[in-house]
Amino acid sequence: MTKRNIIVIGTSAGGVEALSELSKHLPEKLDASVFVVLHIGDESLLAEILNHSGKLPAVTATHNKRYKRGCIYVAPPQHHLSIKNGVTVLSRGPRENGHRPAVDVLFRSAAREHRSKVIGVVLSGRRDDGAAGLYFIKARGGVAIVQDPHEALAPNMPRSALEMVDIDFCLPVRQIADVLVQLVNGKAANITEPRNEGTNMDGEQAPVHPTSEPAGDQIPVGCPDCNGPLYEVKHGELALFECFVGHRFSPENLSEQHAEALERALWTAIRKLKERMVLHERLVDRKRRKGEEELLKRLEESVTTAKKDLELLREILDRI
């Protein structure tokens, strides 16, 4: 049976607790390299936390450094983590689903590089990050594991993966640790065959040439991150959205990011309306000159209309 020695883990909200529990039950001499992406801000103490949680050493990944077995490599803030040619690769590439580091970047790189030797694990988190990456891991013959959504502090990430991917194991974190050890030692069974083995992952890198375009159909929606053209790219049953410079979105994340962009636009409109009200009220209140009666009447009407429009925009904001 295949010994699988590349473990990639993705998590978000509730992830520190899940990772700490997982690390606590992994053996010190685990014959595998472990890579972790946790959606974080500008600072992270995750490596230090994991070192205190378990016996397996954890470090913050560095660029172009060879990785070894028996170690956990944590993605640093504001950098994507991927693996290629036996080294960890850090980049400040386009955000995916609004995140950098992004779970799917790590998962795709592992699937390309190590195929059936990869174990992908999705733990607690919101939205559907990691599901697409787990899909690619499974397409290359790897193993897909998710935390039991009933145990996860934020169940959306594992639940979305369960809906999209043929998951091999859905377990509490404590049992995931046991299964990882079995898979690394080549002793685990009940691995499902991938339905999407023909998925084409060529060209998975973000476009670097200014004239390159994603291999999909352009849709009449702008990228929420850069307002550039957006394309629907299909990989078998999986559909993703990618812009000209490489920002990527799952359907759920695109919808939420677009709603956030719409909210920003509406707040801008509200600000402009308030500025218009203030300006016209000041013009009305200034000393009136002969022959300005018609202008003052229009200004007063404008203020009244702007107040009604503001109420309407606030109602729309409450609905999105």
Angle formed at CA 146 by CA 234 and CA 128, multiple of 5 degrees = 45
- The tens digit of pLDDT for each residue in 122-142 reads 999 998 999 999 999 999 999
Residue pLDDT, tens place only, 47-105: 999 999 999 999 999 999 999 999 999 999 999 999 999 999 999 999 999 999 999 99
**Annotated catalytic residue 39:** yes
Strand 65-66 and strand 6-11: the pairing is unpaired
Q: Is residue 12 part of a domain?
A: yes
CA atoms of 27 and 30, how far apart (whole Å): 5
How far apart are alpha carbons 278 and 117 in whole angstroms? 65
Structure tokens at 204: 């998975």
129 is annotated as an active-site residue? yes
Calculate the CA 24 to chain-centre distance. 26
Is there a domain that residue 193 lies in?
no
Helix (H) or strand (E) holding 38: strand 33-38
Query: Of 104, 128, 129, 225, which residue is the catalytic one?
Result: 129
Q: Rounded to the nearest 10 degrees, what angle do helices 251-285 and 293-319 cross at?
A: 160
Tell me the residue range of the domain where 315 lies: 255-319
Number of domains in the chain: 3
- Whether residue 281 is found in the same domain as residue 164: no
Answer whether residue 200 is part of any domain.
no
The reported pTM is 0.84
Catalytic-labelled residue, pool 23, 25, 33, 39 = 39
The CATH code of the domain that includes 85 is 3.40.50.180
Question: How far is residue 193 CA from its own chain's centroid?
Answer: 26
* 25 and 172 assigned to the same domain: yes
Hey, which residues does 66 pair with through a beta bridge?
A: 87
